[in-house]
Structure 1
């Protein structure tokens, strides 16, 4: 990978694991300085001179503002914001409490708004900037038990369009990535918890026309492009990264 982000400073929320770690790794390879913003420390192996950890409770507006300011003071500015951190639980509307709903929206939708608001003055000082929001194919459809998660990710897709429209004239672009099934420690644990995990793995592969499941770097590589000047004429878009899963119509099986 060429150094497409050389000299750039990026905040990646939830960059210590899963998709976030994949994005962080790709950003570092592309030459960026990265601040991982999340509640718990990432593995020490991820940290380096160009990768720092800034603690923040993303449900707390004060923490978010302070974290952005810390990054700017540490690196001298901000060029890129990746709103990746999120939560998910499986509850129908009947099973869900108001507190459940509020928690999902606070982390998945309100935190990206607050981070974008805090980052905007610093991006504006650079004369240009890129915001990459991590949505989901569940912002376009839904798995069972995911009404709150799907609503939050559909909201991210709409928020992306709104920010792009309002701030494009300032040189600030905003795009979203909607991943499908991406391998991670959490997804592996989910599969392993199934009674017939071998069958589940086989059926998952069948669902994907490319014949494999996604990896965090699949999302990270696209995020690098969206953060770089190579995508200078791209804003307000939602890019689906799912190995063709949402394009494959299901057929009845025996």
Structure 2
């Protein structure tokens, strides 16, 4: 038996990377899971693939309603869908700023807004937002991305204050540089992919990239009814990058 038996979770960006790891971890612990993504998700026992574009309010609402119709309710929302961006504050035009904000920040707003009426009826309601080390540490060439993830952390605290009286806990996970398809694509574009990977690994005190499964483990903790006294928290899964200063 698991604390997730009988509970239903929806995970945005559930087709790959951290999202796919979260889907697998929740399902392994007994939850019924809807993987929401613009990319197809193959259905399996207890996992429903639902097409959803977090930049489209109607698409998000339809995906949440499809999830509820299939499983009979909604208890957990994991806001994971996001895209990357590189550059200083001067390097991206307004259109790119608006595009990334639309996915990374407003996407969470749309999905949470659609899910709230169902979460209010749950006995174990939780929202977990995926932030980033970029929200809490200054990283070079990440102005736009950092701004969106900083917004996620602030939004998480505000949502936690608004919805805890309704019985809905809201928290976020802040991963360090994770071994995801997006990072893989960045490395592929680098002049020296091996050297670039070594540099990314070296800036994290534990000396390697964060595994998606490690992020998923943190999400599972925050989503669990056993974490009923955890609200408005930001849990770092970054190998110590935010707080540790090791002497080499």
Q: Deviations over 1:101-156 (max 9, x none)?
A: 11111111111111111111101112440000000011112322322211111111
1:225-248 deviation line (CA, Å, top 9, x unaligned): 111111100000111110112234
Cα 1:209–1:92 shift into 2, 3 Å: closer
SS at match of 1:131: strand
Q: Which residue of 1 aligns with 2:135?
A: 139
Encode CA deviations 1:65-122: one digit per residue, 9 max, x unaligned: 1111111011100000000000112133323222111111111111111111111110
Per the alignment, residue 225 of structure 2 pairs with 229
Shift of 1:250: 7.7
TM-score normalised by length of structure 1 = 0.91
Write the deviation string for residues 26-79 of structure 1: whole angstroms up to 9, x where unpaired.
Answer: 11111111111111113x3xx302111111221111111111111101110000
Could you say what the CA RMSD is over the residues aligned between the two structures, in angstroms? 1.8
User: In structure 1, how many angstroms separate the alpha carbons of the residues matched to 2:156 and 2:135?
Assistant: 12
Q: Decide whether the 8 Å contact of 1:128 with 1:170 is kept in 2.
A: no
Q: In the alignment, what sits opposite 1:189?
A: 185
Point out where structure 1 has 5 or more consecutive residues left out of the alignment. Answer: none
Give the Cα separation in 2 of the matches to 1:128 and 1:26: 18
More deviation, 84-93/198-207? 198-207
User: Is 2:246 aligned against 1:247?
Assistant: no
- What is the TM-score of this pair, normalised by structure 2? 0.93
Q: Which runs of 5+ in 2 are unaligned?
A: none
2:212 matched to which residue of 1? 216
Rounded to whole Å, the distance in 1 between the matches of 2:243 and 2:86 is 24
Q: Distance in 2 between matches of 1:100 and 1:171?
A: 37
1:3 aligns with 2:2: yes
Q: Deviations over 1:184-214 (max 9, x none)?
A: 2332332343333333333333323323321
- The structure-2 alpha-carbon separation of the partners of 1:151 and 1:205, relative to structure 1 and needing over 3 Å to count, comes to closer
The structure 1 segments of at least 4 consecutive aligned residues displaced by more than 6 Å after TM superposition are none
1:22 counterpart residue number: 21
